[in-house]
Amino acid sequence: MCAPRCAGCAAPRSAVARRTPLAGLCHRRGRAVNRKPPSGGVVEGVDFDRWSVVLCKPDAVGRGLVDAVLERIAAAGVTISSRRDLTAQAWQAHVHYWDLLVDADWFPDRDIPACLDAMYVDRPVTVALAYGEPGFHGRLRQALGHFDPTEAAPGTIRGDLGDDSLEAALAEKRLVRNLVHTSDDAQAARRDFGTWFGAGRRELLAHVPLQTTPTDA
């Protein structure tokens, strides 16, 4: 039986106890130097309680559903901005699913890094920013629906547009294809922004975005 967040399902991170990776240390001129900035330090002063990163996964791109997915997210009362298309790199997939890698021993029947690479590496994804009222992350994730599209309620993105199942993913020893990810909470939004946009793009968070259509974002 799968653990709360499993390689087959990619369930929400909130289903697994959160961990804070230990900062790496190096010694320079006799002093221990913390190579990892304090949590959120790379984007200091940003209210991530009002921001979420939207990741349209390779299956959404491949099926031509990115516009439909972003339109549905916008309909949940948020503003979509800073849309960009990119080719996913291995480090991005591994950072995004860090908890799967930490708990890889839950899945002795599959190679978790290989599963991530097969789904993401060198494949197109679309990312965007969503801006909403404070604490909107949970409401946004409800609009996505259950991580297993066959369990997602009608009217949710995965329930209406999904075409995969947890059962099939487990049988084929892969991740479930469920179209889209949004940040679990403010802490996750900060991490997701660094992963998919980069700390160097913090100007994207400097101003409240104007209301735009998802295709114009």
What residues are annotated to the active site?
A: 181
What is residue 206's three-state secondary structure?
Answer: coil
- Burial of 106 by CB count in 10 Å (0-12 exposed, 13-18 middle, 19+ buried)? middle
Q: Which two tokens mark 95?
A: 């950072």
Residues sharing a CB contact under 8 Å with residue 46, sequence separation 6 or more, in sequence order: 40, 190, 202, 205
Residues sharing a CB contact under 8 Å with residue 30, sequence separation 6 or more, in sequence order: none
Give the Cβ contact number of residue 175 at 10 Å. 25
Integer Cα distance of 113 and 95 in angstroms: 11
Query: What would you measure as the largest C-alpha separation in the chain, in angstroms?
Result: 61
What is the full DSSP assignment across 50-100? GEEEEEE-HHHHHTT-HHHHHHHHHTTT-EEEEEEEEE--HHHHHHHTHHH
The β-bridge relationship of strands 124-131 and 79-87 is antiparallel
Identify whether the C-beta of residue 151 lies closer than 8 Å to the C-beta of residue 169. no
